Structure 1
Amino acid sequence: MTRDKLYSLLLLHLIVLIFGFTGIWGKLVSLESAPLVFLRMLIGGSLIGVFLLVSRRKWRLPLNMTLKMALVGLIVAAHWITFFEAIHRSNVSVTLSTMASTSLFVAVLTPIIGGGKLKWYEVWLGVVVIVGLAMIFGFASGFWEGMVLALISAFLAALFTLLNAIFIRHIDSLRITLWEMLFGAGVVAIYLGVVGYSFEDFLHLSGLDWLWVLLLAVLATAFAFVVSVQVMKVLSPFTVAISVNLEPIYSIILALMIFGEEERMSWGFYMGSALILVAILANAFFKKKEAAYAK
Structure 2
Amino acid sequence: MNTEYLKGFLLTSLGVLVLSFDALLIRLIQVESFSLLFWRGLLMSLMVALWCRYRYPGKPLFYSDWANIRSTLLFSMSSILFVSAIHHTSVANVLVIISAQPLFAAIIARLFIGERSAPITWIAIAISMLGIGWVMKDSWSSPNLTGDLMAFFCGIMLAAKFVNDRSVKHRDMTPSLISAGLLVSLISFFNASPLALSGADWGWMLLLCVIVVPIAFVLITLGPTRISAAEVGMLMLLETACGPLLVWLFINEEPSSAALQGGALVILTLLIHGYIRWQK
Task: Normalising by structure 1, report the TM-score.
Answer: 0.78
Letter in 2 for 1:114: I
Question: Where do residues 65-214 of structure 1 align in structure 2 (5 Å cutoff)?
Answer: 65=65, 67-141=66-140, 142=142, 143-169=144-170, 171-172=171-172, 176-178=173-175, 180-192=176-188, 196-197=190-191, 201-214=193-206
Larger-Rg structure: 1
Cα offset, 1:136, TM superposition? 1.1
Higher helix share: 1
- 2:150 is paired with a residue whose SS is helix
Question: In structure 1, what is the Cα distance between the partners aligned to 2:61 and 2:11?
Answer: 29
- Contact (CA 8 Å) 1:41, 1:181: kept in 2 or not? no
Which residue, out of 262, 270, 273, partners 2:260?
270
| Change in 2 beyond 3 A, CA 1:227/1:68 | closer
Cα offset, 1:140, TM superposition? 4.9
Question: In structure 2, what is the Cα distance between the partners aligned to 1:53 and 1:12?
Answer: 21
Could you list the runs of 5+ residues in structure 1 that have no partner in the other structure? 1-7, 291-295
Question: In structure 1, what is the Cα distance between the partners aligned to 2:31 and 2:70?
Answer: 25
- 1:116 is paired with a residue whose SS is coil
Letter in 2 for 1:181: L
Question: In structure 1, what is the Cα distance between the partners aligned to 2:179 and 2:242?
Answer: 30
- Contact (CA 8 Å) 1:245, 1:281: kept in 2 or not? no
Identify the residue that residue 51 of structure 2 maps to in structure 1: 51
How many residue pairs match? The answer is: 274
The percent of aligned pairs where both chains have the same amino acid is 22
Cα offset, 1:271, TM superposition? 1.4
Question: Where do residues 237-276 of structure 1 align in structure 2 (5 Å cutoff)?
Answer: 243-260=235-252, 262-266=253-257, 268-276=258-266
- 1:89 is paired with a residue whose SS is coil
Cα offset, 1:130, TM superposition? 1.2
Letter in 2 for 1:177: T
Task: Normalising by structure 2, report the TM-score.
Answer: 0.82
Question: Where do residues 14-33 of structure 1 align in structure 2 (5 Å cutoff)?
Answer: 15-33=15-33
- Contact (CA 8 Å) 1:53, 1:59: kept in 2 or not? yes
| Change in 2 beyond 3 A, CA 1:9/1:185 | closer
Cα offset, 1:111, TM superposition? 0.9
Cα offset, 1:251, TM superposition? 1.0
Cα offset, 1:241, TM superposition? 6.4
Cα offset, 1:217, TM superposition? 2.1
Could you list the runs of 5+ residues in structure 2 that have no partner in the other structure? 1-7
Cα offset, 1:243, TM superposition? 4.6
